[in-house]
Chain A
Amino acid sequence: EAGVVQSPRYKIIEKKQPVAFWCNPISGHNTLYWYLQNLGQGPELLIRYENEEAVDDSQLPKDRFSAERLKGVDSTLKIQPAELGDSAVYLCASSLGQERAQYFGPGTRLTVL
């Protein structure tokens, strides 16, 4: 069974530029998550989807971050414009439900110059 797929794996951009990350969850997993992980920290939730509905986006900086999950499968996370402080690893995860185990993709390492 294929795991969570993310792309790109690495991205380097200048500040104020836009950037987008893509995620394809494990087949059959209705719940999809986007996390941000800084060095030496655990992942922090940005947004959770149940099918195509954003259930919890309370930690998503909505002035510059947006996300979508059309058709309840793939998801895209966008930052526009990027700031220096956005440099981090962006992780996508999926699960069969909120109480169930989450499985992570390989992540996208973003560097903002």
Chain B
Amino acid sequence: QKEVEQNSGPLSVPEGAIASLNCTYSDRVSQSFFWYRQYSGKSPELIMSIYSNGDKEDGRFTAQLNKASQYVSLLIRDSQPSDSATYLCAVNMNTGFQKLVFGTGTRLLVSP
């Protein structure tokens, strides 16, 4: 089992729709979780961090965390073509040392 798993996609949604991106992780004691957006040829850009169970909203983005199910998701409301990118889920894990482990990313395509 991979430490952080994401569906590679692409996830295709029409403009204005809600995009739902999912991520599961293997370490039950992980405490901090992050979503990054990465445009092609660019470096990852932090869009959300979440530390507690439940929802965290920031503009059009909502991160949802369920530690019991080891599941974290990102919802993007009113999706725009400019949201088309790869979204990386990252989880702080104890693998001997604490380190941030990234999934392989989900590619999102928002069509006009």
Residues of B within 8 A of A33 (CB): 100
Stretch at the interface among B56-64, B66-74, B75-83, B101-109: B101-109
Is A104 within 8 A of B43, CB to CB? Answer: yes
Cα distance A84–B92 in the bound complex, in angstroms: 31
Is A102 within 8 A of B100, CB to CB? Answer: yes
Whether, in the assembled complex, A44 has its beta carbon less than 8 Å from a beta carbon of chain B, the answer is: yes
Is B43 within 8 A of A107, CB to CB? Answer: yes
Residue A45 contacts which of B8, B42, B88, B100 (CB distance < 8 angstroms)?
A: B100
Listed in ascending order, the chain B residues whose CB lies under 8 Å from chain A are 4, 8, 31-32, 34, 36, 42-46, 49, 88, 90, 92, 96-105
Q: List 21 A-B contacts (CB under 8 A).
A: A41-B104, A42-B88, A42-B101, A42-B104, A44-B102, A45-B99, A45-B100, A56-B96, A56-B97, A56-B98, A91-B44, A98-B92, A98-B99, A99-B31, A100-B32, A101-B49, A102-B34, A103-B46, A104-B36, A104-B45, A104-B46
